[in-house]
Structure 1
Amino acid sequence: MITLPENSSNQTVTKLPDGTPKFKWLQTIRIVLQPIDTLEQTEQRYGDIFTSDLGFFPPQVVISNPQAIQELFMADAQLFDSGSGNYLIQPLVGANSLILLDGDRHLQQRKLLMPSFHGERMRAYGETIRNITKQVTGKWSIGKQFTARPSMQDISLQVILQTVFGLKEGERYQQIQQVLTEMLDTFNTPISAVFLFFKSLQRDFGAWSPWGKFLRRRQQLDELLYQEIRERRHQPETRGEDILSLLMSARDEQGQPMTDEELRDELMTMLFAGHETTAIALSWALYWIHYVPEVREKLIQELNSLDIAHADPTAITQLPYLNAVCSETLRITPVAFFAFPRVLKAPMKFMGYDLPKGMMISPCVYLTHHRPDIYPEPKRFKPERFLERQFSPYEFLPFGGGNRRCLGMAFALFEMKLVLATILSQYSLELLDQVPLKAVRRGIVFAPPGGVRLMVKEKH
C-alpha cells in the first residue's frame, strides 16, 4: 500500500491510485496489442500518476505529470537502478549494453561513447547521410508507389553501417544488412512482440519456432560482428574515422580497452537503437508532412530558401520550420512510449508519496506529449507550437531524460533533418494512406501500420 504522509489535521491523505486491473494478464495483453487505447483509458480513470502491476514488470508508478518527471530526472542518479528496468531488451542488445548498465560502469561507458556523437565528428557524417539518401531514393520512379518504412530503414541502416562500423559496400556489409533486417522483423507485429514480454515464451523449439528463428539470426549476426572486431584488432592500420574505430582505441581510467563482448553489445545497441528508431521517425514524418498539405507547402518553401544539394549540412539542420516538423513528429507519434524506468534502490519520498524499495518509476512519453494543458489540441499535427514556445525537458522528452537521455539524440535529429531535406528537395510525393494512422507495436517501439504508402509524382 502506498500512502501519503499524514497532513497537519491528522487525516491520512488518499493513497496513490492503483491502475492494476483485476485480470492482470488480460491487461498485459491489451498493453501489448492496444497500447494507445489502454494508456489513454487508464490515465482518464486514474490521472497522471498511478501505480500498476502487470506481472512482466516489477510494480511501477506510471507518471505523465511534468512536475513528477522533473523530480525524477533531477534526483540523484545513485538512488536508482535503471538498467535492471530495461531487461526486456537484453536478448536484442546483450548484457554489456549501455542501456542495461548502472552506476560507475554506466557512467564510464557513457563517457567513452559520448564524443562519437557530437561536434565535428558528427558534421563529418553529413555528406555520407546525403549520399546514402540519394542512392536509396534513386530507385524510386515516377508514378510508382513505395512504402516509406523499408526505404527509410535501408537509409538508416546504411548510415549506421558506414558511420558506426566504417563498412563500405562489400560481402560483410550485405550480410549484416540482411541478417539484422531479418532479426528485427522477427518481432514486427504486435502478436510476435509478445515474445519479448513473456520469458516463458522464449523457448528454442528449433529453427521454425519464432524464438528459435530469432536466436539463429542473432548467432549469425554475432559471428559477423566478432569477425569484424577481430580483423580490426589484428590490422590497426585499417582503423578510420568511424565509431567502432573510436571505441577500439578508447581506454578507461585504468588504461584498459573495451573487450570484444563489450564492443559487440554496444554495436548491437547502436544497430538496434539507432537504426530502427530513426527509420520509424522518418516514416512518421513523411506521413504527417503529406497528411497535412499546408505543412508540406510551408516546409518546401523553407527548403527552397537554400540550395539543399550544395548547402552545408549544418545550415540545413538549423532551418526553424524543419526543426519544428521533426519535433512535432516526435511529440505526436513518439517512437518509444516510455522513457527508461528507474528502480528504487531504497525507500523514497516521491511527489509526497512514500515509495518502497524495488518500486519502478516509469515516465510515459506518449501521455505527457498528449496533455492538452501543455499541447492544446494534442491530436492535431501542428509544428508551429514549437516555434511559438519552448518546451521544458519534462514536457517534451522523445529521447528520455536525466542521466539516461539517449546518447544518440543529436545524431538522430541531424540524420532525420538531412534525410527529409534531401528527399523533399528532390521528389514530389503523394500520400496514398489519406486516413488517420494509429501507431502499432513493432517489437518494443511503435510504428505506422502498413509502413506509410506513398507515390512519386512529377516535380513541377
Structure 2
Amino acid sequence: MPPDELPPGPSLFATFDFIRNPFRFLDTCASRYGDWFTVRVPGVAPFVFTSDPAAVREIFLGDPDALHAGEANRPLGAFMGERSSLFLDGSEHLRQRRLLLPAFHGEQVASHADAMRNAADNAIASWPRGQRFRIHPQMRAITFETIIRAVFGFENDSTGAELRASLKKLFALYTSRLGTLFSLPAMQIDAGRWSPWGRAVRLTRQIDSILYAEFARRRKEGVEGRADILSMLLSARYEDGQPLPDNVIRDEMYTLMLAGHETTAATMAWVINRLVTNPEVMERARAEVFSALNGRLLDASHVGKLKYLEAAINETMRLDPVVPNIGRGLKKPMTIAGVQLPSGVTIAPCIYLVHRRRELWPNPAQFNPDRFLESRQSPYTFFPFGGGSRRCLGAAFATYQMKIVIAEILSRVELKKVDGYEPHAIRRGIAFAPSDGLPVNCD
C-alpha cells in the first residue's frame, strides 16, 4: 500500500491540536475516521493510529524484528542517548533488558518504600493549609527526590546537591513548551549557550561530568550493600562477564530521570484530580489507608493492602493515560487485523482510545475503580505501560511509588476541588499532564 493509500486522517493543521489538547484531538479523529487513522508530521514517517483491540494483540505478540519499538520511540529521546533500552530493538534490546530487570524486581522495589514515603512527607509538610496551590509541581518534586535517592543513591552531600541543581534546570527546560518540540530535528540546533538547545546541550554535559565521576568512584570503592538502581547497574554483567559500559548506564539513567520522573508525576496529578472530583471515591480510599495503617507509619508491609487505592490509580490511568499511544516501526509490509500497511510507517496502538471503547468498558467516561476489583483486565485492552516484550520496565516501581505517595496524602491532608476549574491534557516533556498545574485547595 503506497503512503497515499494509508487510512485517512487529519490535515497537518488539525494535527497541531495534538500538542494543544491531545485527548480532544484523539476523540475528534476517532469520531471522524473510526478505528484507524493516519497522522502525518513533517520529517518523520506517517503514524497509523489504531484503537482495534485485535490489532493491539497482534502487535504485542508480533515479531519484534519486524515491529521496531525502539525506532518508533526515538523522537521521544532528545536527551536520553542512543544506548537507552527505550531505543534499542531485537536481540540487542532483549540482552540489555535482562540486565535491567533485577533492579525492578518486587523485593528490590519494596526496599525503596521509606525513601518514597520520606519524599512525600517532606513535600506535604510544605503545602499551604487553607490555600490554593498547584499539585502537579509538587508531584514532580516528590518523584524527583525519589529518583535522586532510590535511583541514583545520592544523599544531601555536595555531589548530590550539584546533581540536583543541574537536573532541575534540565527538567525545567525539558518540560517547557519549547522542550515539547525538541523531538523535531529542526529544534536540535546549538546556536550558543542562550539558545534552547544550546542550554540543553550544556546542561547535559554538566550532568554527564557528575555521573561519570560518580561511576568511577563507585567502581573503585565497590557497591556492596547499596540498593540504589545505579549501583545495581554498575554491578550488572553481560553473559560474557563484561560490565555495562559507562555510556550505556548513563543513557539508562537519563531514561529513568526524564521518562520515569515525568510520567509518574503526571499520573499522580491526574489521580488527585479524579479523587477531588469524586469525593466518595476519595473517602473510600482514605478509609482503606487508615484501616491498613492502624496508627502506624506507612511502610512496605502496608502497600499490598491498598487494593482500592490501586484500583483508583488504574482507573485514572485508563481515563487519563499520560502517554496516549505507543509505536512500532514496520520493517516490512504487514497485514494487521486485516489492514494492509507498507514498510516504513509507524503503527500506533492508541492507549487513550482503546481505554474508552464502549464494548470493552461499560459507561466508559465514568470514573469507577470497582472495574479493577471485579475482574482482571486483558493486557490488550488495558495497557497504560505498553505491552508485550516492550512493557515499561519501571511499571512496578511507578505503581508502588504512586500508592505510597497518594496514601500519605490521604492520611495527612484533605484536598478539595477548585470551583470552576476543568483540566485538559497538555504535553510536559514525554507526558501529558493536567493543564495549569492542577490547582487544588488544601485543608
The answer for the alignment partner of 2:337 in structure 1 is 351
| 1:18 pairs with one of 5, 8, 12 | 8
| 1:179 pairs with one of 161, 166, 174 | 166
SS in 1 for 2:291: coil
Higher alpha-carbon deviation: 412-421 or 306-315:
306-315
Q: How big is each residue's C-alpha offset from its partner over 1:35-68, in whole Å with a ceiling of 9 and x where there is no partner?
A: 2222221111111123333324312321111111
SS in 1 for 2:416: strand
Give the letter aligned to residue 357 of structure 1.
S
The structural deviation recorded for 1:157 is 1.2
| Residues 206, 72 of structure 1: alpha-carbon distance in 2 compared, 3 angstrom cutoff | same
> Is 1:46–2:37 an aligned residue pair?
no
| 1:63 pairs with one of 47, 50, 54 | 50
Contact between 2:36 and 2:49, CA under 8 Å: does it hold in 1? Answer: yes
> Is 1:303–2:293 an aligned residue pair?
no
Contact between 1:31 and 1:39, CA under 8 Å: does it hold in 2? Answer: yes
Contact between 1:342 and 1:360, CA under 8 Å: does it hold in 2? Answer: yes
SS in 2 for 1:382: coil
Contact between 1:317 and 1:323, CA under 8 Å: does it hold in 2? Answer: no
The answer for the alignment partner of 1:107 in structure 2 is 94
Alignment of 1:14-413 (within 5 A): 17-21=7-11, 24=12, 26-189=13-176, 191-236=177-222, 240-307=226-293, 309-310=296-297, 312-339=299-326, 341-413=327-399
The structural deviation recorded for 1:141 is 4.2
The answer for the alignment partner of 1:11 in structure 2 is none
Contact between 2:64 and 2:89, CA under 8 Å: does it hold in 1? Answer: no
**Alignment gaps of 5+ in structure 2:** none
Tell me the TM-score normalised to structure 2 length: 0.94
SS in 1 for 2:422: coil
Q: Tell me how far apart the structure 2 counterparts of residues 126 and 302 of structure 1 sit (CA, whole Å).
A: 18
Contact between 2:21 and 2:425, CA under 8 Å: does it hold in 1? Answer: no
Q: How big is each residue's C-alpha offset from its partner over 1:196-252, in whole Å with a ceiling of 9 and x where there is no partner?
A: 242112212222222222222222222221221121122225761211111111110
User: How many pairs were matched up?
Assistant: 441
The structural deviation recorded for 1:401 is 0.5
The structural deviation recorded for 1:71 is 1.0
Percent of matched pairs sharing the same residue: 38
Q: Tell me how far apart the structure 2 counterparts of residues 338 and 265 of structure 1 sit (CA, whole Å).
A: 23
Q: Tell me how far apart the structure 2 counterparts of residues 272 and 104 of structure 1 sit (CA, whole Å).
A: 25
Q: CA RMSD in A?
A: 2.0
SS in 2 for 1:77: coil
The structural deviation recorded for 1:439 is 0.8
Higher alpha-carbon deviation: 426-435 or 151-160:
426-435
Tell me the TM-score normalised to structure 1 length: 0.90
The structural deviation recorded for 1:314 is 4.1
Larger Rg, first or second structure (1 or 2): 1
After TM superposition, the runs of 4+ consecutive aligned structure 1 residues lying more than 6 A away are none
Q: Tell me how far apart the structure 1 counterparts of residues 181 and 236 of structure 2 sit (CA, whole Å).
A: 36
